[in-house]
Each structure stands twice: as C-alpha cells, then as structure tokens.
Amino acid sequence: MPSGRRVLVVDADTACAESLVTQLRRHGHDAFGVRRGEAALRAHEDADLVLLDLELPDLDGLEVCRAIRSVSRVPVIIVTARASELDCVLGLQAGADDYVAKPYGLRELMARIEAVMRRAEWQPAAAREIRHGRLHIDVGSREVLVGGEEVALTRKEFDLLCLLASHPDTVIPRKQLLQQVWGDSWSRRTVDTHVSSLRGKLGDSGWIVTVRGVGFMLGNP
C-alpha cells in the first residue's frame, strides 16, 4: 500500500487508538484518531481509510458504518473486541470492507489494510456529481444547485437528499432513511420534518415524493 494514506482511527480507548496511530505513522501513513461516532461521521470525508471500533460512547459502531457507507465509498475496516461470527456478519452487512477482531497482530492488520486498499483502487470511483433534471449535487463540496441557483442545506438535509438522489428511481423506506442518515436514533417525525424543510428549500414539493406507507423517492417537478 502506498505511503501517505489518510487513515482515520475511531476508537474510544485512548491508549489503544494512540498506539495504533503511532504504528500507522511509522509505516508512513498520515493517521489521526477520534473517540466518538459523531466525530467519525464528520471526519471520514478527509480519510482514505477508516479503522472503526464498534464500542463507542455515543453511537453504535454498526450504525456509524452504515451512515458512512450511505454517503461514501471510503474503505472501512472494523477493528473490535466483538469476535463472534454473528458480529462479523453484521459488520460486513453494515458495509465494512473487512473485520478484524482484537487482539490482533500488527502485521495481520497491515496486510488486511493493503488488501482492502488494493480492492478499492480497482473499483470505479464513486459518483462525485449527481444530476437529475435541474438538480445538481456536488458530493465532494456538498453543494446543491437547482436551476443554477445554490441551495443552502444543513448537513442532514444534504445527506437525506444525496441518499434519495443516489437512487432516483427507487422508493427508500422511512426506516432505511432513519438508519442511514440518523443512525436509527431518532423518531420517524425527524424524517418528515427534514423532508418538509428540503421541499421548501428546493422550491418545489415535487422534488421529494411521498409513497404512502413505504417511504420517499426523488421526483422531477
């Protein structure tokens, strides 16, 4: 794996995180750490790889993984003390690229990092721009334009719109929206509130279509 990768270490155990960051830096990587899930959801955009523990003080690591995967294809390796087969399956289903149980050997972890990054480099790049009629979303800069006019959105409004726009012909269930945008820790009313706000900011309620009893999908007014 080439040196100079930005590696985000997400681990509530400060000593463990600092040790891993130090080892990664010795191997030539630009490693940095955060302790909380919310911080990881903000910091992953600046990373080339995420090493994610599941035991975090604010959010469950699986929900963090799902939330990252809903908006990014950055490689994620779960590194955790949860060592059961079920935990591993749940981690991979949440979108992780690999799963490493603690305690682990450093050489094994480095080999897994190299393997995951090799696979990632062979994958086509994720769409950085989404165009749908008059709607233009720049995923990298988190900029939204409607008819050439910029629309100012909150982080969650952008994440919600980006998820819907990434699947333009698909109805996204309300539960999936909650899980992927909010980590399933909020009420269904949260989705309705953000959808209403988005419709107002986009200038036409037809941009987000309600499919009664199921969820929402992107429209094209």
What are the structural domain ranges in the chain? 6-122, 129-218
| Phi, psi of 215, rounded to the nearest 5 degrees | 175, -135
What's the confidence (pLDDT) of residue 217? 94
Three-class DSSP category at 96: coil
User: Which CATH number is 129-218 given?
Assistant: 1.10.10.10
Which pLDDT tens digits describe the chain residue by residue (221 residues)? 444 689 999 999 999 999 999 999 999 999 999 999 999 998 998 899 999 999 999 999 999 999 998 878 889 999 999 999 999 999 999 999 999 999 999 999 999 998 888 877 655 445 578 899 999 999 878 899 999 999 999 888 998 999 999 888 889 888 888 877 876 556 668 888 999 999 999 999 999 999 988 899 999 88
80 Cβ contact partners less than 8 Å away, ≥ 6 residues apart: 52, 53, 54, 55, 61, 87, 91, 99, 100, 101, 102
Pick the CATH number of 6-122 from 1.10.3720.10, 3.40.1190.10, 2.60.40.60, 3.40.50.2300: 3.40.50.2300
How far CA 130 is from CA of 11, 160, 210, in Å, comes to: 33, 14, 21
Place of tokens 């094994």: 108
Domains 6-122 and 129-218 fall in the same CATH topology: no
CA atoms within 13 A on the CB side of 31: 21
